[in-house]
Structure 1
Amino acid sequence: MVSVKVNSPDVHYDDVEHLIISRYSYESTHVSYEEDNNYIATPKSTEYIFKTSTTIPKLGLLLVGWGGNNGSTLTASILANRHFLTWETRYGTHHSNYYGSLIMSSTVKLGFNAQQSAVYVPFYQLLPMVHPNDIVIGGWDISRLNLAASLDRSCVLEPDLKQKLNPYMKDLIPMPSVYYPDFIASNQQSRADNVLSGTKQYHLETIRKNIRDFKSKNQLDKVVVVWTANTERFSSLLPGINDSAENLLSAIKENHEEVSPSTLFAVASILENSPFINGSPQNTFVPGVVELAEQHRVHIGGDDFKSGQTKIKSVLVDFLVSAGIKPVAITSYNHLGNNDGLNLSAPSQFKSKEISKSTVVDDMVACNNILYKEGEKPDHVVVIKYVPSVKDSKRALDEYESEIFMGGRNTISIHNTCEDSLLASPIIIDLVLITELMTRVQYKTAEMPEFDAFHSILSILSYMLKAPLVPAGAPVVNALFRQRNAIENLFRALIGLRPQSDMLLEHMAFH
């Protein structure tokens, strides 16, 4: 049921066909150059028609790495919300919530009422969306621990809550997963007691069957698959192996050593028409995976959940550069004690993480050619250390050294304690809810003969990801508020509302 009804000739609610049909004029600007180095800005208007299904499906979520800290915490939080659990801590009684979720706990300014007061509504009220409480969860893990034992091992939630969750989680056991020792740190071997044997082709067929069986058993309309397992090393990009869909499928049949577990899960999901989201920093989406997704018209998104330190960095650097202040050095130090930290203590796995965390400022730097000459960037250093005693409570220390007015220097130091899985779990929820919604959206322009789905690569997910995957030729945006505005304004477009504006012209021109 739609909670927001838009009173406009540009939107039509078809209750018989269960559709919202909206007409939207998208305004953009084309920039060209004259010989004397002047700019010519030409406004351009493109009319879109959006068609959004209002039928909310029964949705399944399969997590790769279900028994890890993120997987067990996410499962526990959904169960706690579903059963309205409360628990005691030294601070008092706590109630289940979805804090940290953009969709479930953030609001959007809808407009102004008759008293000229801003009216805000929850994100989830703009369009019909799956509620997290209704998601059916399953998954794979290289460890055979049940989810209650995994939750206890993670040391994330309070003891009283874990005890109340035990009846709901003790019978949840992950399906056997794929374990290729060359791709993750050797210190993970002791966990690997629940792994598939056989060839990579057999693994692919087994994962595909797992998805089909999960969907059938739970009578689901759709399934989304999310990689929340360990960070892998980068895969080598090899001609004839993973450079095309055909070559990648052949490489799997030939059991080629350079096909990673995450790539295998992505291929299986695509072939089963299930969207796949990569929550770790490795290059899961080699060219062959992207081509396969485009061929099968299945949505994919990645890479690497953006939960703590990187999210702050994307805000602070955007603020500094936008204010005309020049960051010249960014030094980021982390230490954490969960299994992610243990895995990242291996050099090749750390390299994957370092790349995803280091590229987050590139677009913000590139947008200001007054501060930065072509090719110039701030010095950017990322360090991650494993300290077992801090468990899932990651410490992040950042120093931002900037050049200011007339050769002065400004230094900002930040200490951030991030409870890793409690920040990442609501991000996973947002990724899944938005991805599912995008599968119900089609668009059409005047040049198109019929409606079509959005591109397979969901760049709209960039707000939740450190190293956003975008279609070839599309710009990568890391500035956090630009990413959020993209989500908000797309949601508005789907119900026929104009983009959000902070111009407040109605008040500046008010008499």
Structure 2
Amino acid sequence: MPANGHVTPQNAKAPAVVEVNILSEDDQAINPADHYGVTPDYSIQVNGRNTIYSNEYIESKYMYEMNHCDVDHQAKEVKITPRKYQYNFRTKRQVQRTGVMLVGWGGNNGSTVTGAIIANRDKITWMRKEGEQFPNYYGSLTQSTTIRLGSNNEGKEIHIPFNTILPMLHPNDIVIGGWDINGANIGEAMERACVFDYALQEKLKPKLSKLKPLPSIYYPDFIAANQEDRANNLIPKGTKQQDLEHLRNDIRTFKRNNNLEKVIILWTANTERYTDVRPGLNTTKEEVLQSIADNDDEISPSNIFACAAILENCPYINGSPQNTLVPGIIELAEKHNVFIGGDDFKSGQTKLKSVLADFLVSAGLKLESIVSYNHLGNNDGKNLSAPQQFRSKEISKSNVVDDMVGANHLLYDKKTNEHPDHVVVIKYVPFVKDSKRAMDEYISSIFMNGINTIAIHNTCEDSLLASPLIIDLVILTELMTRITYST
């Protein structure tokens, strides 16, 4: 572990390109008869005129087909015209040496991501009553899921690991750093989070205690007042323009000290209240930068971090439900050709809600009421106990059903803007710590006006569900920066 306060990979080299290796018939005996698994030993090679390989690039042509619909309301007629669009994709094969700077590194998510990567990288095992435990990346789409690639001559489907479809960054090679308003080192933050088994904490603490977050910016109006006692690791008080320049310098220093090609900035800090969106403040890139220069009160910490990332050509990922990505910041990112995205991780109750609501409506059942109750005891729950911060989360949790309701005018009358009743409750209960309890009730009208009720109790290990998504976001964002396309 280097003394620079960042987690670095042991072997800083690009991962080898992998080929498909079909498991033997003996190995397949344990698998379903109609499927073949593959191991990531060799490269995947597409044999076709639309894909070209060179040492530097994978180039491919893709024909995207869609239907254009013309609706004639007078004739009550819909005319469909098939359309084709050709896209040319170019992917750089060399994975970049990549670091992520977490805003809120000392929080539960930050310490969990860091500890998990070190445990996997160093193959740390630990004991609990069920026996010896081994680290893994369960919950990560890139590391723990497969993709159906096609079928062989016998008609058996071929499934490959997600991360072998294109050259991807390995999580063990991610360099981690970041900021936090609290000065606890990452070892202390891990203990405070109460996420990992104690035996694992004991093995990780000597490594994590060497890591300390950089001072961060703190504008009390944007997060709950109950966070003030944590704010002991702050950038010296100055103007918002000075804060922006300070963060840009932090990013440059992190990139230089770790010899990185790409740095990704990811917000996993406290949920902020919504900021105003209005002309003169943040509707254009010029307004945003001028508002920062003017030290405007409505410029939030996440606005500053997003602008710093964009101006340093670093992708910015927003992992909280506040409206960081205002129109002016989106325009600034477009000007600098920088990836931005995100409006909450949605890793537990909200993820389940989006799937279950879609299932019910797609089955032709009229979802009438969704009532969601949560209680949790981590610092996220403490911050969300304040009304303005809760409102940001409430909007995020409520919006997930809008698209599926809007897509079915047979069940929901668009003229009256008919929509299911939707209530979200979040309570802070310190005793449960990071182990969030989520209780949901879904009431639907069914055949011949019957009523169906589904009630769910879900224990969501908050950070253990969110952390693999953070890893995926970093991996996929790095991949996206190596892909260009033309039409």
Partner of 1:365: 405
1:162-173 alignment, distance < 5 Å: 162-173=201-212
Distance 2:363 2:75 in 1: 28
1:19 maps to 2:57:
yes
The CA distance in 1 between the partners of 2:263 and 2:138, in whole Å, is 24
Pair 1:426 & 2:464 matched? no
> Which letter does structure 2 place at the counterpart of 1:204?
L
How much has 1:265 moved relative to structure 2?
0.1
Matched residues, number: 443
Indicate yes or no: 2:152 matched with 1:113.
yes
**Matching of residues 87-166 of structure 1 within 5 Å:** 87-166=126-205
Where does the alignment leave 5 or more consecutive residues of structure 1 unmatched? Answer: 446-511
Aligned to 1:284: 324
Are 1:251 and 2:294 counterparts?
Answer: no
1: CA distance between counterparts of 2:228 and 2:280? 31
Task: Measure, in 2, the Cα distance between the counterparts of 1:44 and 1:372.
Answer: 30
1: distance between equivalents of 2:49 and 2:327? 43
The question of 1:303 aligning with 2:303 is answered no
Matched residues in 1 for 2:221 and 2:483: separation? 40
| CA-CA distance at 1:314 after TM superposition | 0.9
TM-score (norm 1): 0.86
TM-score normalised by length of structure 2: 0.90
Look up the equivalent residue of 1:129 and give its one-letter code.
M
**2: CA distance between counterparts of 1:324 and 1:40?**
25
1:499 alignment partner in structure 2: none
Q: Deviations over 1:160-179 (max 9, x none)?
A: 11111112111100000010
Output one character per residue of 1:168-223: Cα deviation in whole Å (capped at 9) or x when no partner: 11110000001000000000011000011211111100000000000000000000
Runs of 4+ in 1 over 3 A off after TM superposition: none
Shift of 1:115: 2.1
Work out the CA distance in 2 between the residues paired with 1:236 and 1:58: 37
Structure 2 letter corresponding to 1:182: D
Distance 1:326 1:78 in 2: 43
2:103 is matched with which residue? Answer: 64
Q: Are 1:38 and 2:77 matched, yes or no? A: yes
Query: Structure 1, residues 345-397: CA drift from partner, whole Å, max 9, x if none?
Result: 00000000000000000001111111111021100000000000000000000
Q: Could you tell me how far apart the structure 1 residues matched to 2:421 and 2:476 are?
A: 35
SS at match of 1:424: helix
Shift of 1:38: 2.0
Q: CA RMSD in A?
A: 0.8
For 1:481, the equivalent position in structure 2 comes to none
Q: Deviation per CA, 1:48-104, whole angstroms, max 9, x where unpaired?
A: 110010011100000000000000000000011110111111222111110000011
Distance (whole Å) between structure 2 residues aligned to residue 33 and residue 182 of structure 1? 49
Give yes or no for the alignment of 1:389 onto 2:439. Answer: no
CA displacement at 1:114 relative to structure 2 = 2.2
Residue number in structure 2 paired with 1:208: 248
CA distance in 2: counterparts of 1:340 and 1:176, whole angstroms: 20
Match of 2:231 in 1: 192
- In structure 1, C-alpha distance between the alignment counterparts of 2:130 and 2:419, rounded to whole Å: 45
In structure 1, distance between residues paired with 2:148 and 2:310: 36
Deviates more, 1:299-308 or 1:83-92: 83-92
Partners of 1:38 and 1:394 lie apart in 2 by 51
AA paired with 2:362? S
Write out aligned runs for 1:475-490 (5 A).
none
Provide, for residues 110-137 of structure 1, a one-character-per-residue CA deviation record: whole Å limited to 9, x for no partner.
1112221111111000000000000000
Match of 1:222 in 2: 262
1:176 to 204, 208, 215: 215
Q: Deviations over 1:247-280 (max 9, x none)?
A: 1111111111100000100000000000000000
Alignment partner of 2:116: what SS? helix
Aligned to 1:74: 113
For 1:41 and 1:398, locate their aligned partners in 2 and report how far apart those are by CA, in whole Å: 41
Give the SS at the match of 2:221.
Answer: coil
- 1:39 is paired with a residue whose SS is strand
- Aligned pairs for 1:350-361 (under 5 A) are 350-361=390-401
Match of 1:29 in 2: 67
Pairing partner for 1:239 from 250, 268, 279? 279
CA distance in 1, matches of 2:78, 2:214: 58
Name stretches of at least 5 consecutive residues in structure 2 with no aligned partner: 1-16, 19-42
Instruction: Quote the Cα distance in structure 1 between the aligned partners of 2:76 and 2:130.
Output: 63
Shift of residue 238 of structure 1? 2.7
Which residue identity does 1:30 align to in structure 2? H
- After TM superposition, give the deviation of residue 432 of structure 1 in Å: 0.9
Question: Matched residues in 2 for 1:322 and 1:398: separation?
Answer: 19
| 2:315 equivalent in structure 1 | 275
Distance 2:361 2:466 in 1: 27
Secondary structure at the aligned position of 2:271 is classed as coil
Secondary structure of 2:469's aligned partner: helix
1:36 positional shift? 2.3
